[in-house]
Copies of this chain bind each other. A is one copy, B any other.
Amino acid sequence: MLRTELCDLVGIEYPIFQGGMARISDGILAAAVSEAGGLGIVSAASGDVDQIAAELDAAKQRTSKPIGVNVMLRGDNLDAIAQLIADKKPAVVTTGAGNPEKYMEMWKNAGIKVIPVVASTTYAKLFERAGADAVIAEGGESGGHIGELNTMALVPQVCDAVSIPVIAAGGIADGRGAAAALMLGACGIQIGTRFLLAEECSIARAYKDKVLKANDASTIVTGRRLGHPVRSIKSKFSREYARIEYTSIGDDELEQFAVGSLPAAVSGDEGHGCFLAGQISGLCKKEQPSAEIVREICEEAEALLLGGKKWVK
């Protein structure tokens, strides 16, 4: 069975994290992934302390296994959310969009493993010095907010830059990607897009259909002009954003155009929805229980890893 040092660090059976997708990764999805032996991660992106507490409680009612929470270090209410996390004591907190140093001591004193998402060696080294237990090196293949570097080039460079464990993310949806990530030096993977098709994922039918119908050319990056590039599946909204992005439209108006587009996607609004998903959508072809997703990825990766000698003669 697929097992790395990440399993021991976090207390999980398989080295697979389910990405904390804003407004999508709730307690039900996270619990299903954790019950399956991976690490389910609740998103705290709503910014609403009571709602985050409710999702963490919902997850804990469904599983006694470790649960994670993902915090975007941007926006209001961060101190209250950080305190809630310290009180709720999930096994792991993953962070994005900022420096977790301010909350590091509080979280670590609560026994929580702190694992920031990074898109460069610079931030990997910075967060290692700040006390991170591991980092998630996420390439630009992924859905949602992306950096400049891609997984194949980012992961080995981050592995060389830090001595804490590295988890690979971006462009991974099956056992091939998992085995490749281990070869690159990672000790685990984080998967978002494929879990959009988990039976326990509550996004609207229209969102799941977009992932199911996607091919390799179905995603688009918008938002580079404002410094916040985002990858989503091509849609009425994203095509229109791309069309106006490099016109004379003002920054404020452009930003305003995107307001509400993520909740719109989650509820299936094809007119204004921004359907975040990664380049690997084209490989995600069926809806399955989370447990089946975790099991398939592990079995495929195990077979590849045990069969590596076929290429050495």
Q: Which residues in A have some Cβ–Cβ distance to B below 8 Å?
A: 1-4, 120-122, 139-141, 148-154, 156-158, 160, 170-172, 174, 176-177, 179-185, 215-217, 225, 246, 278-280, 282-283, 301-302, 304-309, 311-313
Q: Nearest chain B CB to A225's CB is how many angstroms away?
A: 7
A120-B217, A154-B216 provided; 16 other pairs, C-beta below 8 A?
A2-B312, A3-B312, A122-B217, A149-B216, A150-B152, A153-B279, A153-B282, A156-B280, A157-B282, A158-B216, A177-B184, A179-B180, A180-B180, A180-B183, A183-B308, A307-B308
Which residues does chain B contribute within 8 Å of A150, judged by CB atoms? 139-141, 150-152, 170-171, 279
Give A169's nearest chain B residue, CB to CB: B152
Give every chain B residue within 8 A of A312 (Cβ-Cβ): 1-3, 302, 305-306
A sample of 12 cross-chain residue pairs with beta-carbon separation below 8 angstroms, ordered by A number, consists of A120-B217, A121-B215, A121-B216, A122-B217, A150-B150, A150-B151, A150-B152, A152-B170, A156-B283, A176-B184, A180-B184, A305-B309
A305 to B312, CA, bound (A): 8
Nearest 6 CB-CB pairings of A with B: A152-B171, A305-B308, A153-B279, A153-B171, A180-B180, A150-B150
Q: A176-B183, A305-B312, A312-B2 are in contact. Are A152 and B152 (CB under 8 A)?
A: yes
CB of A165 to closest CB in B, whole Å: 13
Q: Which residue of B lies closest to A215 (CB)?
A: B121
